[in-house]
Structures are given as C-alpha cells and as structure tokens.
A and B are shown apart, each in its own frame.
Chain A
Amino acid sequence: MIEFSNVSYVYGKHTPFERAAVNNVSFKIEDGLVTGIIGHTGSGKSTVAQLMNALLTPTSGKVLLDGADINASREISYKTRFKVGIVFQYPEYQLFEETVEKDIAYGPTNMGLDETEIKRRVEMAADFVGISKEILKSSPFELSGGQKRRAAIAGVIAMEPKILVLDEPAAGLDPRGRSEILGRLTKYRQGSDKSIVIISHSMEDVAEYSDRILAMNDGGILCSGTPSEVFSHYDELCRSGLALPQITNIMNLVMKKCKERGIPFDNSAASFFTVDDAYKYLAQRLELKSEEGGNTVC
C-alpha cells in the first residue's frame, strides 16, 4: 500500500520558475485494486507518479510504502523502484538493447537476480503482454508501434513490482490496441495483492478499468472514491475542465431533459459510466425484452 501524507512538490525551488506541481496531497493506494488517477495536463498527476517510486523526493510530506518512508535513504529509494514499477508515456522510446529479450531483462539484471530467474521473468513478462518467442529474439526497432509498446511495458512487468503504475498506457493506440493492452494490464493484479495505478486523461478508459478513482486538479485532489461516487460529482468535474465519460454525459443530459418534460428519472442513473449499466437501466425503463440485447456481461 502506498500512502501519501501531506505531500507537496515544488519545481524549480528558489528560481523565478518556482511552481508547485503537487500541493499538500494525502491519499492511499490500496492493495489489490486498480486506481485511476484523472486530471488534465498540469494537474500534477504525472508528478504524483514520479513521487510514488522516489524518482522525485517530496519538497515536504512523506510517501510511505507499506508504512515505511521511501525517501529515508538513497538505498531505500533505489530499492523502491523495483517494488513500484512505472511505465511512462510512450515507453517505446526507452528501448535500447539489441534484442527485445535483452531489453526486457534490463530491469531484472539491475535487481541483481540470477540468470535462471531473469530468464523466467523475461518469459513471464513477454507472455503477459502477448509477445511471442520469435519477437523476443528480434530487434526492438523492427517492431510495429503496438509491439514496441508491449515490449517496453514487459520491461517493467519483468521486475514483478508490487505496484504497477501506468502513465497513459494506451496513448496513440487505435481502439483495438487500446482495449487489448488495457484488458491485459489490468489482469496483472488478478489472484494476488498487487495493485495497479492508471494515470490518464481518457475518462472512458479510467472509468472502465478502475475500482477507485482519484480526480486531480491544480496539484490537489478534487474528489476520490469509486467511479460512480466520483462521477456523481459531475458538475464539479466539469467546472475543473475534466471531460466526463460519454455515457455519464448522456445520462446527465437525459436526466436534465427528463426533468424539464416531467418524465421520471432516477438521479442515481445519472452517474452511470458504462454502456452496459446505462443499457440495462434504459432497457428496463423502456420495458424491452432482455434476451436480445441482454447478452452482455456486467
């Protein structure tokens, strides 16, 4: 579990460019869950990611991993990086080795693991992201965009971090690539106490895959909770310039219009964010037979 306790981070302290990127923030990332962090550019969400594995040291406040301060000493900070793995935006730009296999092995090698363990982890990570054996032997620079992305993500997964932090993991991918990579990655915590943090400005992605959401604005936390709790604050979210998930938008509009026309509508339905939930509610309201469209899994 990661805990932020009154954490602030200031860029360029004592220079004319001084700017607080994160301002007195406290929250917890719980084990075994997918936490989504949303916020527009400059809201501090990427700084939060770098604070989580001690790439940045807080200007004030503490970041605790399972109760221990990760910035207590240089050695602890270094070791934290293997426990909290970060996949940065466009991670394919960090590939450097001759083969995909060697590149994935970079992290585990730095951890000082023995060869058989490194091999096991490379294979596990490749398998997890869906990279075949032939690709492992080829140069990372010959791969397609989507494959490069996976290879780079495998490089972090191979460290088997307890917490996997993903900064815009699906940026630039087409819809199929998006749902495939997000679907695979969110399986990482299955059957273990590992947790995932997805940082994104795509509301639909965060809403679909997260158990908890943290909405950030101007270096502070706007609201947090389960997706439906967070999306029930739609007016606040809108005001801070965050786009709501499409379905939430539609349901909100429907609610407002229903009120105008005197049609009954449940307020709770306004914070729905998946097609399935909205469909189920509307199908019931429209008294549709469920067998035709109701073959969807919740």
Chain B
Amino acid sequence: MLKDITLGQYFPGNSVIHKLDPRIKIILTIFYIVIVFSAKSLASFGVVAILTLALIFVSKISFVTILKSLKPILFIMIFTAVMNIFWTSGENVLFSFWKITVYSEGVRFAILMVLRLVLLISGTFVILTYTTSPVALTDAIERLTKPLSKIGVPTHEFAMMMSIALRFIPTLIEETDKIMCAQKARGADFETGGLIHRAKALVPILIPLFISSFRRADELAAAMECRLYHGGDGRTRLKVLKLEARDYIVSLIFIAILAAVILVNTQFEALI
C-alpha cells in the first residue's frame, strides 16, 4: 500500500542534533563539507571520522540506516577506488603485472577518496536529512534566504510553495491509493503487460488525480484568502527561531575540528 511509505527520510527524535536550530544545521552542513574536503591525510581523516561517529552516536541513528544510505553510491565508490588505484602514478611500486602498475600512492589515494565519500554522505545525512523535518528545513531556507528578497528573489513564495507541497503530499498519496483501488475494482490491471500497456493503465489514475488536485488548489486558495493571506509582506511567525547555547557550542566544536584538521594536515603528514 502506498500509504505505508514514510515520507522523506526524517527520523523523528529528541537528540541534541534534532534540537539544533535548522538554520544552524544548514550552515553546519556546509561547514562539514568544507571540513571533509580540507582533510588531506589519513590522520586528519581520522579526526573527521571521529567527528562523524560522534554525530551518529549523539543522533541515535542506527548504523544500519547509515550503511543503507551509502548503498546508492556504492558504484561511485568502487569506480573512484578503481580509477585511483590504477591511474595514479607515484614512486613506490606496490606490484605490477602485464601493463598495469599499482603504486602505493594510488592505494592510499583510493582509500582517502572513498573515505571522503563515505564521510560526506553519512555526515550530511546525520546533520541534515535524517534529523531535520522537511517543514523545519523549508522554514530555515526561507529565513536564511530572506536577504535575497531585497533584490527581488521571491523567497517567501518559494517557501510557501514548498510547505504547501509538503502538506499535500500525504493527502495526494492517500488519494492515489483510493483511485487505484476504485479502478482496480473496475478491472484495471497495473501489474501485468508490457511497458506501454502499463503506462496506458496509469491514465485512469492520473486524470482523476490531476482534476482533484486542481479542485483542491482552488479550494485551498479560497480558504487561504479567507484566512487573510496576502503574500509575505508584514507577515509574522508563530515560532521565532532563536539560537540557544547548544547551537553555539556545536558551532564552536565544528570550528575547533576544522582547525584540528588543518593542523593535523600539516603536522602529521610525514608520519603516514
């Protein structure tokens, strides 16, 4: 059944990471990406790995979930590794056969690249995707991009569209489910036949769905007008996002780690 699908990848929770201000989380995500790309040696990657593990631990997201999130990029990881192992040249030959020579630099580089990908994905997922509700995310994007509205970018309208879309996705999924049931009851068959047959079978679902979406949009517009909606000008909000101690502390930790990574890069390069 369609309604069993959970929306987005948000795992509700109560951890410190869940509670961080969503605006800070967006900034921290960017910061995190900078940290990952700053790491240049195995030792500095170790520092980033410790940070990422700590984030996973604090957020209480299970390791299995993290591993699952890496599955879609498995191919890219293997591809990157192979490319680096065989096409990097260096001084220390590890082994060679036929026309291929593998250098130890290549292996080292491959490991670093794969590590970078793994950390990048798992870290950003833990900070942002898994621990921030889509609503909070939209809200944060609206507030962060607010300065852009001064130069004519419709930031409020964009955010309103996003949040209405989020609000109506479950409703439309439910509706699709109902229409599918009704057409199945009239002998529609979505499961057998070739691609064209299946595509054709979708018409009796898509048309009613479109028509009902337009009707809904129309009614929603009237309801919003009745509730005095007149665009973003002069609009206040129920929730004022306010930075709290934990937001500052986590930000400081991130800055410290960036500093540590840079330090480790220069100091311990020779050791490995």
A residues near B (Cβ < 8 Å) are 11-12, 15, 17, 50, 53, 55, 78, 81-82, 85-86, 88-89, 91, 93-96, 106-107, 110-111, 141, 155-156, 159
Contacts and interface: CB of A to CB of B under 8 A. Distances in A.
Contact of A93 (B1, B188, B208): B208
Interface residues of B, number: 20
Contacts of A11: 1, 4
B212 A159 contact: no
A81 B182 CA distance: 11
Contacts of B154: none
A11 B177 CA distance: 14
Contacts of B203: 96
A187 B185 CA distance: 22
B182 A141 contact: no
Given A94-B208, A106-B204, A88 B187 contact: no
Contacts of B179: 93-94
Contacts of B178: 88-89, 93
22 contacts: A15-B4, A17-B4, A50-B181, A55-B185, A78-B189, A81-B187, A82-B187, A85-B185, A86-B182, A86-B185, A88-B181, A94-B204, A96-B203, A96-B207, A106-B186, A106-B204, A107-B187, A110-B186, A111-B187, A141-B211, A156-B185, A159-B187
A17 B182 CA distance: 24
A133 B1 CA distance: 38
Contact of A81 (B1, B175, B184, B208): B184
B179, B185, B208, B212: most-surrounded residue (chain A CB, <10 A): B185
A162 B212 CA distance: 31
Interface string B1-37: 1001000000000000000000000000000000000
Contacts of A107: 186-187
A93 B187 CA distance: 17
A99 B187 CA distance: 19
A17 B1 CA distance: 13
Q: Which 4 A-B pairs have the closest CB atoms?
A: A110-B187, A96-B207, A107-B186, A94-B182
A156 B189 CA distance: 16
Contacts of A94: 179, 182-183, 186, 204, 208
B185 A110 contact: no
B251 to A, nearest CB: 34
A67 B95 CA distance: 73
A55 B212 contact: no
A11 B204 CA distance: 26
Nearest to B210: A96
B225 to A, nearest CB: 23
Contact of B186 (A12, A15, A159): A159
Contacts of A106: 183, 186-188, 204
A277 to B, nearest CB: 36
B186 A88 contact: no
Given A110-B189, A159-B187, A96 B181 contact: no
Contact of B185 (A12, A81, A111): A81
Contacts of B181: 50, 55, 88
A91 B189 contact: no
Interface string B175-215: 10011011111111100000000000001100110011000
Contacts of A15: 4
A81, A94, A159: most-surrounded residue (chain B CB, <10 A): A94
Contacts of B212: 93
Nearest to B179: A94
Contact of A110 (B182, B188, B207): B188
A96 B185 contact: no
Nearest to A104: B186
Contacts of B185: 53, 55, 81, 85-86, 88, 156
A55 B204 contact: no
